[in-house]
Chains A and B, each alone.
Chain A
Amino acid sequence: MDHFPTNWGRPRNDAYDAYGTYPIAQRPQNNPKDAFSAGVQHTQQPIVTGTSVLAIKYKDGIMMAADNLASYGSLARFKDIQRLHAVGNNTMIGAGGDMSDFQYIQNMLDELMIDEFTAQDGLALGPAEIHEYLSQVLYARRTKMNPLWNSILVGGFKDGQRFLAYVDLLGTTYSASTLATGYGSYIAQPLLRKAVEGREDVITEAEALEIIETSMRVLYYRDARSLNKFQVATITAEGAKISESKSLDTTWSFAEGIRGYGAQTQ
């Protein structure tokens, strides 16, 4: 029951006093619903964010790439952030979304791997187990209305098997031979599919790198939250490796001719 007579008989959306015509204490929907609601706040948006992660299957395993940028809104805030993280010898994760949440996840997984190591029974968590674990954690957090704001790719190679799967802040999972998060899922995914699907067992490492680099270049052209400085990871029978940061040659001369972008005034 709404005990404010001034609210009676109004359309629901009108109950919102857009112009602040009431004294603060009486303003509709301005009263805290419970005494602690201001004290307990859950994540409602990401703050410092990373953009796309790309990953494909190829002959020898999985290749994954992500750039080194962490944005603060539209500001390119941190340019040396690593968004790929090896979990043990057989697994690599790459994340877009909130970077502090991602760092939390990294710590959590590192702790988990130490627990596994200290059991000293020769059993180690592989990519499939890590992915399942992540999906359970992310889903549990979202059901508490307090998500870890990431979309994550999990790639791995264990016992001769490639593994590649996706999990996000909702706990949604899927698997495919090419995956991309964020902006990359619109821009790069079609390119990756065209280059990889049906050829997973023939693509060499050099070829895979070319496919990844082509897509990273397109993303750098198209995605305003991206950076031409990125790392590439491979997970093969030899283990999980992350490259040094690298950049690609790009051409921007065409921009001169774009109205509102180049130097022209008209």
Chain B
Amino acid sequence: MFRNTYDSDNTVFSPQGRLHQVEYALEAVKQGSAAVGLRSKTHSVLLALKRSTGELASYQQKMFRIDDHVGIAIAGLTSDARVLSNFMRQQAMSSKMVFNRPIPVNRLVSSIADKAQVNTQEYGRRPYGVGFLVIGQDNSGPHLYEFSPSGNSYEYYAMSIGARSQSAKTYLEKHYESFADSSLEDLVRHGLHALRETLQQDKELNVNNTSIGIVGPASVHEKAVPPAGPFRIVENEAVEPFLQTMIAKDTATGAGAVPPAAAAATGDEDVQMAG
């Protein structure tokens, strides 16, 4: 690794006006497995790649429900994500209690962004090491936001974060104009295709390593979803019908029946907090 005088402290600007500690925190997000988010006029969806540290280990949780109308997918330090998602839940509950109103999604995202900003300016802290994709619906329809450790938050039509997310981004940039009028099934399929771009050579999406988060009315593949279309996480066998809709890559990698991705994923684990 390189080392320079201005990178060991988050309270120090480099002569170029950069904050190296914040930039390193953004790298921590890229260590986590990828998550993809997309939005249409009626739905927002999240798709995430779960990792497991070995055959005896379960898969790391990548999605969290915040409230009936909001959910997140994470990439980076899971423990930081748990702290922030807990805070988001408190904000959501407080809005329900005080105003009897589901918290507007943009304000929820801003609230954690403002928290993250403080960690980039004060001594004795470190920036959060996790990025979120946040989906939710409110009066103005479905939304997709990205939150990052720099304290920034942006609203997107589609976005990806985490390891090799650039490949997914390239896919999304190619197709995003069609998302607005997509059906939920098409939206998820695009999401799976984008997520597939982040996989390593010999890996494939399967029911174990894929999580799907949805807000909006139910899909034909879902059962017992209330009409309001609250946030839900689709996992395990329930993912299968969605995986079936994928169109095989026409490349020569032979994306047919490749063995499950559970096999040792060395050097590819989520970054863990010490201790």
Contact = CB atoms under 8 A, between A and B. Distances in A.
A/B: CB atoms within 8 Å of each other? yes
Interface of A: 119, 121-123, 125, 128-129, 132-133, 136
Contact of B107 (A119, A125, A136): A119
B99 A132 contact: yes
Contacts of A121: 104, 106-107
23 contacts: A119-B107, A121-B104, A121-B106, A121-B107, A122-B140, A123-B104, A123-B138, A123-B139, A123-B140, A125-B99, A125-B101, A128-B100, A129-B99, A129-B100, A129-B101, A132-B98, A132-B99, A132-B100, A132-B101, A133-B98, A133-B99, A136-B97, A136-B98
A119 B100 CA distance: 19
Nearest to A159: B139
Given A125-B99, A128-B100, 9 more contacts: A121-B106, A123-B138, A129-B99, A129-B100, A132-B98, A132-B101, A133-B98, A133-B99, A136-B98
Interface residues of B, number: 11
Interface in B97-117: 97-101, 104, 106-107
A30 B66 CA distance: 55
A218 to B, nearest CB: 35
B13 to A, nearest CB: 29
A119 B99 CA distance: 16
Contacts of B99: 125, 129, 132-133
Most-contacted residue by chain A among B97, B100, B104 (CB, 10 A): B100
A87 to B, nearest CB: 13
A122 B101 CA distance: 15
Interface in B130-154: 138-140
> Interface residues of A: mostly helix, strand, loop or mixed?
helix
A133 B98 CA distance: 5
Nearest to A121: B106
A125 B100 CA distance: 10
A243 to B, nearest CB: 29
Interface in B171-206: none
A207 to B, nearest CB: 32
A121 B100 CA distance: 19
B53 to A, nearest CB: 41
Nearest to B99: A129
Nearest to B107: A119
A102 B201 CA distance: 68
Contacts of A119: 107
A133 B96 CA distance: 10
A82 B65 CA distance: 47
Contacts of B106: 121
Interface in B72-101: 97-101
B2 to A, nearest CB: 41
B135 to A, nearest CB: 17
Contacts of A122: 140
A159 to B, nearest CB: 9
Nearest to B106: A121
B109 to A, nearest CB: 11
B213 to A, nearest CB: 23
Considering the complex of A and B, which 4 residue pairs feature the smallest CB-CB distances, nearest first?
Answer: A132-B100, A129-B99, A129-B101, A123-B104
A133 B138 CA distance: 19
A97 B46 CA distance: 52
A132 B96 CA distance: 10
Contacts of A136: 97-98
A208 to B, nearest CB: 28
Contacts of B97: 136
Contacts of B104: 121, 123
B274 to A, nearest CB: 39
B40 to A, nearest CB: 21
A151 B161 CA distance: 52
B114 to A, nearest CB: 13
A122 B139 CA distance: 10
Nearest to B105: A121
B194 to A, nearest CB: 28
A132 B97 CA distance: 8
A129 B99 CA distance: 5
A136 B101 CA distance: 13
A123 B107 CA distance: 10
A136 B138 CA distance: 23
